[in-house]
């Protein structure tokens, strides 16, 4: 297999946040981008912005990554219009908090279906196309520092379980598909200024928590969406041609810091 020269990048959860920022960075370097998001309108808005930014082509589609029929249909439409992908950013996810003993099974299942099964289905159908087209490309999955440590605020058991599983899946896929020249890596974004960041925080507590986080993050600020997006765009490029099975942490230094103050 040889690297593709006309790159198509598929981004899930591309309607906002890190997914949107990644799609636009890829567009600025001339890549063709296909944006999948549960919210079809935001996916289309990102595709429009990508065209303005210089994308070779852009497509925005509504897709719930937890539904295999929707994922399969989305990849079929992408293939019909642009061909097989060179790169995939499997990024769509949710963060719903709660203590395990209080969590309804339906909520637990919803988190797993979206975060973990969604990554599986995205990679499954993307890999099929890459293998059929003999494309040696790159897959990046969104993990989290929660894959390595528990969040101090607590209540993140289900979310953290999915991220730990994603990290394991990335390592396994890296080994399974290395012989085809397909690289699989993970990005682990820290606290990032996106809607998802504040999903479990009451509106009147957001500013207080933002100030507290900025005091605790060694670099002194939350990430902007483009900070981890730059890492993803790098992992999707040939500059990382010898990287696979790796995690790139982009958290402002949180994981490097002891949890105690002395």
| Contact criterion met (CB below 8 Å) for 248 and 186 | yes
Q: Which of 86, 159, 177, 242 is catalytic?
A: 159
Tokens of 218: 């060694």
Dist CA 145 CA 120 (whole Å): 20
Q: In angstroms, how far apart are the furthest CA atoms of the chain?
A: 58
User: Would residue 159 show up in a list of annotated catalytic residues for this protein?
Assistant: yes
d(CA 78, CA 70): 12
DSSP state of 258: -
Note whether 79 and 129 are within 8 A (CB). Answer: yes
Specify the DSSP element, H or E, that contains 121. helix 118-132
| Collapsed DSSP state (helix, strand, coil) of residue 145 | helix
Task: Catalogue the active-site residues.
Answer: 159
């Amino acid at each position: 297999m040889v690297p593709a020269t006309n790159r198509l990048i598929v981004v899930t959860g591309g309607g906002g946040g890190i997914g949107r920022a990644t799609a636009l960075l890829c567009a600025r370097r001339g890549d063709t981008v296909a944006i999948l998001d549960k919210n079809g309108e935001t996916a289309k808005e990102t595709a429009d912005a990508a065209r303005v930014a210089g994308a070779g082509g852009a497509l925005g589609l509504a897709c719930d990554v937890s539904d295999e029929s929707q994922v399969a249909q989305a990849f079929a439409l992408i293939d019909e219009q642009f061909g097989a992908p060179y790169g995939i950013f499997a990024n769509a996810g949710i963060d719903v908090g709660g203590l395990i003993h209080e969590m309804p099974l339906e909520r637990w299942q919803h988190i797993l279906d979206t975060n973990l099964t969604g990554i599986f289905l995205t990679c499954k159908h993307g890999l099929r196309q890459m293998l059929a087209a003999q494309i040696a490309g790159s897959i990046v999955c969104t993990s989290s520092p929660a894959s390595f440590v528990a969040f101090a605020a607590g209540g993140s058991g289900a979310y953290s379980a999915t991220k730990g599983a994603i990290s394991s899946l990335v390592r396994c896929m890296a080994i399974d598909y290395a012989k085809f020249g397909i690289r699989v890596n993970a990005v682990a974004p820290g606290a990032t200024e996106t809607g998802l960041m504040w999903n479990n925080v009451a509106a009147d507590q957001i500013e207080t928590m933002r100030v507290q986080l900025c005091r605790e993050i060694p670099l002194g600020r939350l990430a902007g969406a483009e900070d981890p997006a730059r890492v993803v765009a790098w992992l999707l490029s040939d500059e990382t041609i010898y990287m696979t099975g790796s995690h790139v942490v982009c958290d402002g230094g949180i994981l490097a810091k002891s949890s105690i103050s002395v």
